[in-house]
A and B are shown apart, each in its own frame.
Chain A
Amino acid sequence: MRSGRKTLLILACVVAVAVAIVGCEKKADHQPTTQPVRPSSSQAAATQAVSPTGQQIFRPRGGGLAGIFGPATAEGYKPVIGRFGGRIVLAAMGEPKTFNPIVANETSSTDVAGLMWEGLTITNPWTTEVEANLAISWTHDDSGLVWTIRLRPGVQWSDGKPFTADDVVFTYQTLYDPNISAPMRDLLSGPHGEKWKVEKIDDLTVRFTLFQKNAIFPELIGQAIIPRHAFKPLVDGGRFDAALGTDTPPEKFVGTGPFLLARYEIGNRVVMKRNPLYWRTNAAGQRLPYLDEMVFVTVPDFNVQMLKFQNGEVDVLQMRPADFPILASQRHADFDLYRLGPRLGCFFLFFNQNSGSDKGGKPFVDPRKLTWFRDPRFRQAMAYAVDRRSIVNDVFNGLAYPEYAEYPDQLHLPFVPPDMPRFEYNPAKAKALLAEMGLKDRNGDGVLEDADGRAVEFNLTTNAENTDRVKVAEVIRKDLENLGIRVNFRPMAFNTLVSKLDATFDWEACLMGLTTSLDPHFGANVWLSSGQTHMWFPQQKTPSTKWEAEIDKVFAEGIQELDPQTRAKIYWRYQEIAAEEQPLIYIVTQEGLVAIRTKFANVFPTGLTAMPQWGVLNHLEEIYIKAD
């Protein structure tokens, strides 16, 4: 029996290790889904490039070095007729958890599903205008509630059956089916569970009757359409959630997209093959796509992704800022580098403004600190205090953009008013604002004190696994300390942080990032005072401030205005309030950096994406491999 005690000891060790592992997390963050609703706005957004090809050349090719390019433009998008055949290999951080386009809730899954199933509309990757896809037109009646959609004739599912109105009706029935775990259902439902009525008029016409006017309806119908004939038995049998999982035989995947699943080698790679019945054609009338295969190799470590790219095992690399100079100086480069401008998504600092208390009556936030956090002057002072340029240089190798508002200036979006106030680095102004609040150094020790002589200090946190965020938070801490504010920086595991932000509310200041969508309405959950990602004070029953109430009104009004120009102006007000009140203090946006092998032609990248890797793969069906 001597080994019994030993075993217990070892078991205890195993538990300890398990606890330790629970406490730490991988660098890569959980990437929230960006499908199927796509960014939108009505005006041109990418304006960086001007050359005849639509690509601004930062450095010409020569001496065997890589060419470095900017994004293309809508006018520059002129695909030429290419050659058929070949393969493109991509590296993926995570592997797909399901291929089911209705159930998928994170990007590793939606990226792959998005190749097999398409929506009625698609967003232009440069202008962000909504364009025809499986639908050819969408018009509404005078009430703005009834939309008539004409479907594209001649589209076939990959098993040869025609694509019809029945498929559209079936897709929305499935989405609204309460037994199915569809994360997008809420976006298509009213606050009291109201649904859209979707009816077939004839084989190629569908009528949507909305419960209220919806300005982003054309974007929302970018939701992937699934085949009724193939998937109805699964839904009827109650097996749809688990269906189309990673163990499903590839022939079950019936789609309209350019690529279909060929094999899934768990933990290793996903192989997609060309859909021979894909409806898009080139100028010569040949069915696209050009490439025979598309492979996603699972590579969960950035260093190894870089090695694999250098070793020629993958064709596209989403670079970290540190990778860029290495690849840019590599001789005999067989790849091009793209600097795609600011990515959609940025880092921001915010303070807990939650005035509630827990069940025991204890306030979530120390009332003394809460008065600071809820004072706009304090937040403005913080915005003045952060030296964003040094963050860009020190943390991101200069390959990032200082950020002062939700949307980068470079995008010139219509719903961002001109002359937004911005809080550029100015410690003197920050000090003055704090002094106005009565927070100043009263005893000459370099630390600010309040009227009662107590030091000004707070806790700052971020998710520890995101090393970039940790580094940015460190710089912020240093900047605030120079101002005389004591900041206790304590990064924590993502799960812990989320439960604090979402349930226990016992936090003070936090640095986070979110993927930005190009239509403000997709940010409604952040800006509405009742929203669950209204980070600084989520899920309010009634707005706790006048300005939050006003933002609520802007969003309620904006979604119902169907004229794009009028609608854009409505949103100006919320941008101005956000700039004035600084509930989210924007810090920095990373640059989209991608490398792709020169052998690929018809590459027309855009910067308007959260994942730069997909930015170079626009109109994937047009990409082909040049003859040697």
Chain B
Amino acid sequence: MGAYIVRRILITLVMLLAASVLGFGVMKLTPGNYFQRLLQDPRINRTYVEQEIAKRGLNKPVTQQYGLWLWRLGHGDMGTSFIHNQPVAKVIGSRLINTLVMNLAAITVTWVLAIPLGIYAAVHQYRWSDKLLSGLSFVGMSTPGFFLALLLMWIFSGLLGLLPAGGLTGVDHDRLSVAGKLADYAAHLAIPTVVLSVGALASLQRITRGNMLEVLRQQYIVTARAKGLSERRVIYRHALRNAINPLITIFGYEFAGLFSGAALMEIILNYPGMGMLMYDSIQAKDEPMVMAGFLMGAMMLLLGNLLADVLLAVVDPRISYR
């Protein structure tokens, strides 16, 4: 197992390198650069723009630019953001925690609700409760997140005035007590959490239900029931353990998404997370920023996969790696 993990990590590094070439290439293929767009302001002159371009080496051949970027990355320097004029690591660092909090909240809510609901629906297949859950799932899966966000904001802040309309904290946040601060965070996190979990919850609930149903049809379940085991034991001890395997793979992907934001939602809810940052950076062609975000996303994805594979081996004794 240890050797397997080391091998996988080495492969991950090679893949990251390939991904960075791809990302860098795609970015260079799109026209224009960050400084060129400043030229559309009649008050900004060409000499200024050319100076800025030269300062950052954007006029050099692409291969040379990539080489320089890679060399710096190897020395732990992700470059300086064009927009923010600050080290990329610093800018990303300021947003990462917000994204992490939002995603953790959403993932917790999703998993805590989806799995029991999925099991419940499977056990009560074709009863009205199952049908209701199915119906809700379809609504949940088909509602676009940005629409739901606007709708919830319109209801809870526009009409009822119960929740703040987006943001991370209220204007008076600094004057609040610790409990007040927590309540303030919670109030601001409510809508993003609900919006992010609704879609995920709906599909995860359906997957759990499907897996459960499949397992419940297996002969060993019939055997277990025939042995006279309690229904509780049958479901939680025997069925669930086998139904959960595919969910672990999904969990791996969710891990990958921990640091990646939901751009559209963050813009609507003006939540200062990675999504908004990356969106603005891509728009403005802030190259060092885009590359850092892209590489981070790829890395998380690869690590998430590795984590899922390892977890799978831990949970399921039938799986082993050599």
Contact = CB atoms under 8 A, between A and B. Distances in A.
Interface of A: 3-4, 6-8, 10-11, 14-15, 18-19, 21-23, 25-26, 30, 32-33, 37, 87, 89, 94, 97-98, 103, 105, 181-187, 241-242, 245-247, 263, 265-269, 295, 297-301, 303-304, 307-308, 310-313, 494-496, 498-504, 514, 522-526, 531-533, 539
B26 A15 contact: yes
Contacts of B26: 15, 18-19, 22
Contacts of B272: 266-268, 298
Given A33-B41, A183-B38, A495-B31, A301 B270 contact: yes
Contact of B166 (A87, A299, A503): A299
A596 to B, nearest CB: 17
Closest 9 CB pairs of A and B: A267-B272, A32-B41, A186-B45, A499-B31, A499-B32, A525-B42, A495-B32, A307-B165, A266-B94
Contacts of B269: 304
A290 to B, nearest CB: 18
Contacts of B305: 3, 6-7
Interface in B265-283: 267-273, 276-277, 279-280, 282-283
Contact of B23 (A18, A97, A187, A247): A18
A18 B294 contact: yes
Contact of B15 (A8, A15, A242, A300): A8
Contact of B165 (A183, A313, A523): A313
Contacts of A310: 158
| Size class of the contact patch on chain B | 35 or more
Contacts of B164: 311, 313
A58 to B, nearest CB: 27
Given A14-B298, A304-B269, A532-B39, A21 B171 contact: no
Contacts of B23: 15, 18
B85 A242 contact: yes
A303 B167 contact: no
Contacts of A504: 31
Contacts of B113: none
Given A26-B267, A97-B84, A297 B42 contact: no
Contacts of B129: none
A531 B43 contact: no
A82 B170 CA distance: 27
Contacts of A37: 43
Nearest to B260: A14
Contacts of A266: 94-95, 272
A526 B40 CA distance: 10
A268 B39 CA distance: 29
A187 B47 CA distance: 11
Interface stretch (B64-72, B135-143, B149-157): B149-157
B169 interface: yes
B57 to A, nearest CB: 15
Contacts of A15: 19, 22-23, 26
Interface in B168-182: 168-169, 171, 174
Contacts of B154: 307
Contacts of B36: 495, 498-499, 502-503
B131 to A, nearest CB: 34
Interface hub of A182, A266, A310, A503 (most chain B Cβ within 10 A): A266
B97 to A, nearest CB: 11
A265 B158 contact: no
Interface hub of B37, B83, B166 (most chain A Cβ within 10 A): B166
Given A266-B94, A268-B272, A300-B270, A89 B165 contact: no
Given A14-B301, A15-B23, A19-B26, A495 B285 contact: yes
A500 B42 CA distance: 17
A103 B19 CA distance: 34
B86 to A, nearest CB: 5
A530 to B, nearest CB: 10
Contact of B282 (A21, A105, A313, A496): A21
B46 interface: yes
A23 B27 CA distance: 11
A4 B36 CA distance: 39
A348 to B, nearest CB: 13
B11 to A, nearest CB: 7
Given A15-B22, A304-B269, A525-B42, A98 B85 contact: yes
A298 B167 CA distance: 8
B267 A532 contact: no
A526 to B, nearest CB: 5
Interface hub of B39, B40, B95, B294 (most chain A Cβ within 10 A): B40
Nearest to B321: A1
B51 interface: yes
Nearest to A98: B85
B43 A525 contact: yes
B6 interface: no
A4 B80 CA distance: 32
A267 B157 contact: no
25 contacts: A7-B15, A14-B298, A15-B22, A15-B23, A19-B26, A21-B279, A26-B280, A26-B283, A30-B284, A32-B40, A37-B43, A97-B84, A105-B41, A181-B55, A183-B45, A184-B43, A185-B48, A267-B168, A304-B166, A307-B153, A311-B158, A495-B32, A496-B30, A502-B39, A526-B42
A514 B269 CA distance: 30
Interface hub of B30, B273, B294 (most chain A Cβ within 10 A): B30
